[in-house]
Amino acid sequence: MKRPNLYDLDYEALEKLLISWGEKSYRAGQVWNWLYNQLVTDFSEMTSLSKTLRQRLEEKTRLAVPRTLARQESLTGETRKDLLALADGEQIEVVLMRYAERRSVCISTQVGCAVGCPFCATGQMGLRRDLSSGEIVAQVLHFARELAEQERQLTNVVLMGMGEPLLNYDASLSAIRRLMHPDGMNMGQRRFTISTVGISPGIHRLADEGLQVNLAVSLHAATDRLRDRLLPINKRYNLDSLFSAIGHYLRATNRRVTFEWVLIEGVNDTPEQATALGSRLEGMLAHINLIPLNPTAGFEEQPSSPERTEAFTQTLDRHHVPYSVRLRRGIDIQAGCGQLRQRETS
């Protein structure tokens, strides 16, 4: 049998494993502390454990720490993107954003993505495989380790990198729960954001988790006609199905839902779309993030001009729907939304 990756185990599974080796249950707490507070990357560093236990861990389990293949800093120094290699050689990109008050990490949930939104570099590469919960957790630890050296802490985790988190639901949710564990990273629920293209059954399921995580929905179009074209998944889960799931989420959590809207010149920045969006969201506990389209090799369209963006927001104002126009970040290193993909490295 393949040696289990310790990052894939939740606390109870780790405890069970150690007890099956004849260890006392408190040993699980010690190992957990080494993994999620001390952030060690090697069993030999777990010095509070007996040599025998360390050896046994070494022989029977593994610590899948991703290898950094490349690292890029944006010109402003605010955004950093790392290309990581997983144990089987697959690659993912992860982004660290440093603001005055916040340090957010944008992590991936799949290698590639099956949803195939035409404007997204991840979608353009197709799905290679799901990530395991441990591989999702390890991305957060990767940056947490570096920040700890600078005596800083990660404040936010957004599942908005490569892949669709609600199509790798179990791994994404158990990764969040592992990072929330009070004896480890102890991250607050509200520090997590799950971004979804709108997988209605996943949103219904999330509503019933009893969690206070943030939900971001990539809307991009407010009529089925346009959304069918921009996000092929809309043919499966159309706007009514999506909004009924979001309604459930709102009732269950009372958390404000964020809508992502990538502004594409002449496509979804029209008065018709602005009005349809404003009417849909009017009175809802919602916020819209307007994001200028980031360039990707496989999509020809352009980001909306400032004038069209302005006209769009005026319509939203008339419907009293709150929004922010996002700055483009990390574009010079292709670390912007939708620009993450597996790279060919030589």
Residue with smaller CB distance to ligand SAH, 245 or 262: 262
CA–CA gap between residue 88 and residue 217 (Å, rounded)? 31
Report in angstroms how near the CB of residue 339 gets to ligand SAH at its nearest: 6
- Rule CB under 6 A: say whether 304 interacts with ligand SAH: no
User: Angle at CA 62, nearest 5°, toward 59 and 64?
Assistant: 160
# residues near ligand SAH by CB under 6 A: 16
- Rule CB under 6 A: say whether 17 interacts with ligand SF4: no
Stretch of 18-26, 77-85, 115-123, 130-138 lying at the interface with ligand SF4 (CB under 6 A): 115-123
Helix 200-207 / helix 169-180 crossing angle, nearest 10 deg: 30
Residues 123-162 that bind ligand SAH (CB under 6 A): 160
Report in angstroms how near the CB of residue 98 gets to ligand SF4 at its nearest: 23
Report in angstroms how near the CB of residue 318 gets to ligand SAH at its nearest: 25
Interface with ligand SF4 (CB under 6 A), residue from 57, 92, 120, 203: 120
CA–CA gap between residue 340 and residue 325 (Å, rounded)? 21
- Rule CB under 6 A: say whether 242 interacts with ligand SAH: no
Which residue, among 290, 295, 266, has the nearest Cα to 277 in the 3D structure?
Answer: 290
Which residue, among 168, 64, 150, has the nearest Cα to 113 in the 3D structure?
Answer: 168
Residues 121-140 that bind ligand SF4 (CB under 6 A): 122-123
- Rule CB under 6 A: say whether 296 interacts with ligand SAH: yes
Interface with ligand SF4 (CB under 6 A), residue from 115, 250, 263, 267: 115
Active-site residue (options: 15, 23, 93, 164): 93
Residue with smaller CB distance to ligand SF4, 117 or 221: 117
| Binding partner at 207 among ligand SAH, ligand SF4, none, C-beta below 5 to 8 Å by kind | none
| Binding partner at 116 among ligand SAH, ligand SF4, none, C-beta below 5 to 8 Å by kind | ligand SF4
Residue with smaller CB distance to ligand SF4, 113 or 140: 113
Residue with smaller CB distance to ligand SAH, 185 or 291: 291
93 is catalytic: yes
| Cβ-Cβ contacts under 8 Å for 47 (sequence gap 6 or more) | none
Residue with smaller CB distance to ligand SF4, 66 or 161: 161
User: Angle at CA 167, nearest 5°, toward 164 and 168?
Assistant: 95
- Rule CB under 6 A: say whether 218 interacts with ligand SAH: yes
Active-site residue (options: 106, 113, 120, 337): 337
337 is catalytic: yes
- Rule CB under 6 A: say whether 336 interacts with ligand SF4: no
Residue with smaller CB distance to ligand SF4, 122 or 234: 122
Residue with smaller CB distance to ligand SAH, 8 or 164: 164
CA 269 to chain centroid: 26
Scored b (16 or more CB within 10 A) or e, 91-119 reads bbbbbbbeeeeebbbbbbbbbbbebbbeb
Residues 159-198 that bind ligand SAH (CB under 6 A): 160, 164, 195-197
Active site positions, annotated: 93, 337
Which residues are at the interface with ligand SF4 (CB under 6 A)?
Answer: 113, 115-117, 120, 122-123, 163-164, 197, 218, 338
Which residues are at the interface with ligand SAH (CB under 6 A)?
Answer: 119-120, 160, 164, 195-197, 218, 260, 262, 291, 293-294, 296, 337-338
